[in-house]
Chain A
Amino acid sequence: MMYLLDILLISLTAALINNFVLYYFVGICPFVGVSRKVEMAFGMGCAVTFVISIAALISWSITTMVLIPGAPVSSFIAGFFLPEQAAAQIDLTVLSYIVYIFAIASSVQFVEMYVRKYFPMLYGSFGVFLPLITTNCAILFACLTIMSHVTGVDNPADAWDLGKAIALAFFGGVGFTIAIVIMSGIREELELADIPEPFQGAAITLIIGGILAIAFMGFTGVDSGIRDALMPPVEKQVSTRISHQPDIFSNPAALASLDLSSHDPSIQVGLP
């Protein structure tokens, strides 16, 4: 029950409250340069969601099985060279970024080959975007967020398992799709508007993105509201209160200047 609540809150947060595009600014390049056609934007969103889920699966698996101290594979291999104690403490997390980007690039490659061969119709609708997604910030950002919740937690029992990792990645992709489809719909309408010459193209898209971001700010606090409604306050256990995990990805400098979170823990501005 608590687990399902956690999954629900992670999904809601990733999709709407801390939307990848409108709050964390990842995946801006396709967002600004997105086609004016809603169908192509939707195809791009689907491709990103697909790749982000696969990348999250691979990066979570590699992180928990190879990179962190005490991981099964690394301590097994190190066990041939080092005594048991030292082998269990081999920490390979410094290689995380290189491993992730390599995993993302190769998984995109394999996914493209697989989809082209076995699902030609699907390939027709979003396959052409797949090579562009390798350098999309959103994929690497999802992997980094999962890494921070696996390696950056003080209590090993709070480390995210595969379900939470995939929930974050998939619904982050869903949120990206929502934002990009809304933006492409607005741009279709913009074709009929008379925009001043300096603002045509990227500038007006960014300003509209800002207004969209203001709209999405209305979702702030929905996660803590749901949590307080579904979890009776008496039963609050520290291990399932997501808001008490170390907030590594708090919005840069915003919290320092606003001083919101220090007084009222139910107002979450950062990723839980």
Chain B
Amino acid sequence: MADSPTPFERFVQGILPENPVYRQLLGLCPTLAVTNGMKPALTMACSVGFVLLCANIVISLIRNLLKPHLRIVIFTLTIATFVTIADRFLAAYFFQMSKTLGPYIPLIIVNCIIICRCEVCASKQGVVTAASDAIGQALGFGLALASIAAVREILGTGMLFGIRVLPDAWPDWVIMVLPPGAFITLGLLLGFVNWMGILKARRSAND
């Protein structure tokens, strides 16, 4: 592997091997909060993707001007600007979804994923690398959110995207759309992903 990964490598890394939720355990707050339906989950994933991409590009453009001890404040202020844009956009064009997501859109400002990517990648790499890293991480985040939301929505309401998937006789596991269901679903899926990783490592160790 080269010293610093190419843009395409960063893009691919972000989706599964360095998945922000399952591997790095960052950004758990929106992951648990908005995943009781597929629609809020995908809206949140798009918002985080937008903010991550824009923040990475801006930070990468000004990376040579950053003073070391002020950089976290600069990251946070940049992210706050783009989150304000995303929040106002959602409030203007998707008002119902904006109310459903509530305070979790502004909480993207303190989402560890974005600050971490700015710190690790955008403040040190060029614009193209930073942008592809952002897109990869955003896709990985969206994948994680979608997987959890699918489980919670199907088991909790028998529907996916509002379309009935399970038969009417299914007793809705209401706990799944309530807070405890979020914790338990994420814990079980995290265990499953870890198990897959262990199997893969064992298989490649045996070869």
Contact = CB atoms under 8 A, between A and B. Distances in A.
Interface of A: 22-29, 32-33, 94-95, 97-98, 101-102, 105, 134-137, 140-141, 144-145, 148, 196-199, 202-207, 209-211, 213-214, 217, 248-254, 256-258
A97 B102 contact: no
B103 A141 contact: yes
Nearest to A206: B187
Interface stretch (B5-13, B26-34, B138-146): B26-34
B49 interface: no
Most buried by A among B37, B110, B192: B110
B177 A257 contact: yes
B191 A144 contact: no
Nearest to B40: A252
Interface in B18-59: 25-26, 28-29, 32-34, 36-37, 40
A209 B187 CA distance: 9
B184 interface: yes
Contacts of A27: 29
A97 B180 contact: no
Given A105-B73, A135-B110, A198 B183 contact: no
Contact of B109 (A25, A29, A140): A140
A105 B72 CA distance: 9
Q: What DSSP secondary structure best describes chain A's contact surface?
A: helix
12 contacts: A22-B179, A25-B33, A26-B29, A136-B110, A140-B107, A141-B107, A206-B183, A206-B184, A251-B36, A251-B178, A253-B100, A254-B178
What interface size band does chain B fall in? 35 or more
A213 B179 contact: yes
Given A135-B110, A206-B187, A258-B174, A98 B80 contact: yes
Interface string B75-112: 01100110110011000000000011111101101101
A145 to B, nearest CB: 7
A97 B184 CA distance: 31
Most buried by A among B88, B157, B194: B194
B25 A210 contact: no
A38 to B, nearest CB: 21
A248 B95 CA distance: 12
Given A25-B29, A28-B28, A199-B187, 5 more contacts: A32-B25, A206-B183, A210-B184, A213-B179, A258-B177
B138 to A, nearest CB: 19
A94 B188 contact: no
B122 interface: no
B188 A203 contact: yes
B195 A210 contact: no
Contact of B29 (A28, A199, A256): A28
B112 A135 contact: yes
B72 A134 contact: yes
Contacts of A136: 110
A252 B178 CA distance: 9
B190 interface: yes
